[in-house]
């Protein structure tokens, strides 16, 4: 069979993208630089043309022209299960913006990671460094004049959530939704309060109780275990009985549901229960569990977008929320 001579096997060029999108090649360049001043309709035309033609920026040509490497170093802790999704998100953005990634891991504590970051930044082999490994907080402004560095400080050395990943704001959304369903008596079962995430969720719970005027706040201090949820319910005095429980995690919520059944309380007819983490088990409990999903992939996208904005001396992009409330069968109207 003869090859189809009407199809070009050569690499698509920026001029071909421009022609397909009906814009100038300068406009395509602006799109590739993530220029925020472009009209959405124009951005969409360029994006579709790039996808249709399979266009990829020529990194070698750009490197010679700009004296940049078009490479970004990403530093991961040696044990990086929590960061795997974040890395995938970082790759999404870097690839779309024409950057190649050099992924490195580091053993040791946060100070060892910081020394490795400086070594990479000073190597001249990358334009910027994204640290998904925890760095010491006192080093935040200790790298002026080097390659751009963004530290995504969302986990500490013990993989405890910090920063955006410890945001407790969805607790307010859960309570507002339950309040609209008529609930006025809430119990919060916390996770381990050595975690910023547990402390922040407790704080937002207390603030929400005050804001909704449904106090006083009822809080059971626990750890990240089903037994904490079970104990919180089975040890409650009858006069403290809530109509809704805000659990610090899906695992805690599972214990709450077991404890409620032992007391003869139906979920959600007698007691609404919410969790956090969107664990696999939550969608398969009976009833299915209302929860909060944290998008770790979006965490990586946000961090890489910040780094690329710094490299291009652009304003910091508006970041998409990492957390989404998922309403399921474990919540319902307040019992009569």
Positive or negative, the CA dihedral 150, 153, 157, 161 is negative
Average pLDDT over residues 200-229: 94
pLDDT digits (tens, 9 = 90+) for 154-196: 555 444 454 566 678 899 999 999 999 999 999 999 998 888 7
The DSSP line for 86-135 is HHHHHHHHHHHTT-EEEEEEE-S-HHHHHHHHHHHHTTSS-SEEEE-S--
Which of these CATH numbers, 3.30.70.360, 3.40.50.2300, 3.40.50.12780, 1.10.3720.10, describes 69-161+298-320? 3.40.50.2300
Is the pTM of the predicted complex or chain greater than 0.75? no
Greater confidence (119 vs 267) lies with: 267
R_g of the chain, CA atoms, integer Å: 25
Residue 82 has a pLDDT of: 60
Q: Which residues contact 281 (CB under 8 A, 6 or more apart)?
A: 250, 254, 289
The 10 Å Cβ neighbour count of residue 278 is 19
The fold adopted by the segment(s) 164-294 is: Rossmann fold (3.40.50)
Say yes or no: do domains 69-161+298-320 and 164-294 share a fold: yes
Highest averaged pLDDT of the listed ranges 31-40, 123-132, 184-193: 184-193
Residue with tokens 């079970």: 230
Domain boundaries, the chain: 14-57, 69-161+298-320, 164-294
Among 298, 314, 297, residue whose Cα is nearest residue 306: 314
Greater confidence (48 vs 30) lies with: 48
Average pLDDT over residues 201-206: 94
| Res. 46 pLDDT band, cuts 50 70 90 | confident
The whole-angstrom separation of Cα 133 and Cα 77 is 5
| Res. 63 pLDDT band, cuts 50 70 90 | very low
The whole-angstrom separation of Cα 128 and Cα 311 is 7
Among 7-21, 262-276, 314-328, where is mean pLDDT lowest? 7-21
The whole-angstrom separation of Cα 169 and Cα 287 is 25
The fold adopted by the segment(s) 14-57 is: 434 Repressor (Amino-terminal Domain) (1.10.260)
Res. 223: pLDDT tops 80: yes
**239 — phi, psi (to 5°)?**
-70, -15
Average pLDDT over residues 199-209: 94
């Amino acid at each position: 069979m003869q090859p189809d001579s009407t199809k070009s096997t050569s690499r698509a060029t920026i001029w071909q993208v421009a022609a397909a999108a009906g814009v100038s090649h300068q406009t395509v360049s602006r799109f590739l630089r993530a220029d925020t001043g472009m009209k959405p309709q124009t951005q969409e035309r360029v994006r579709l043309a790039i996808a249709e033609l399979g266009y990829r920026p020529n990194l070698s040509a750009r490197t010679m022209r700009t004296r940049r490497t078009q490479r970004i170093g990403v530093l991961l802790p040696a044990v990086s299960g929590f960061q795997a999704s974040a890395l995938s998100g970082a790759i999404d953005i870097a690839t779309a913006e024409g950057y190649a990634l050099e992924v490195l891991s580091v053993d040791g504590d946060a100070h060892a990671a910081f020394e490795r970051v400086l070594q990479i930044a000073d190597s001249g082999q990358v334009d910027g460094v994204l640290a998904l490994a925890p760095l010491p907080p006192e080093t935040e402004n200790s790298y002026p004049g080097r390659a751009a560095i963004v530290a995504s400080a969302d986990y500490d050395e013990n993989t405890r959530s910090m920063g955006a990943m410890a945001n407790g704001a969805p607790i307010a959304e859960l309570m507002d939704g339950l309040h609209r369903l008529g609930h006025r008596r809430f119990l919060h079962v916390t996770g381990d309060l050595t975690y910023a995430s547990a402390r922040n969720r407790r704080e937002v719970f207390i603030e929400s109780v005050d804001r909704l005027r449904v106090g006083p706040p009822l809080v059971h201090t626990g750890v990240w275990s089903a037994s904490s949820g079970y104990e919180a319910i089975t040890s409650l005095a009858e006069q403290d009985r809530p109509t809704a429980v805000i659990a610090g995690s899906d695992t805690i919520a599972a214990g709450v549901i077991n404890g409620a059944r032992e007391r003869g309380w139906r979920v959600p007819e007698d007691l609404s229960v919410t969790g956090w983490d969107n664990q696999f088990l939550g969608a398969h409990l009976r009833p299915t569990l209302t929860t909060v999903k944290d998008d770790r992939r979006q965490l990586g996208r946000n961090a890489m977008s910040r780094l690329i904005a710094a490299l291009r001396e652009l304003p910091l992009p508006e970041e998409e929320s990492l957390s989404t409330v998922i309403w399921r069968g474990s919540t319902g109207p307040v019992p009569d």
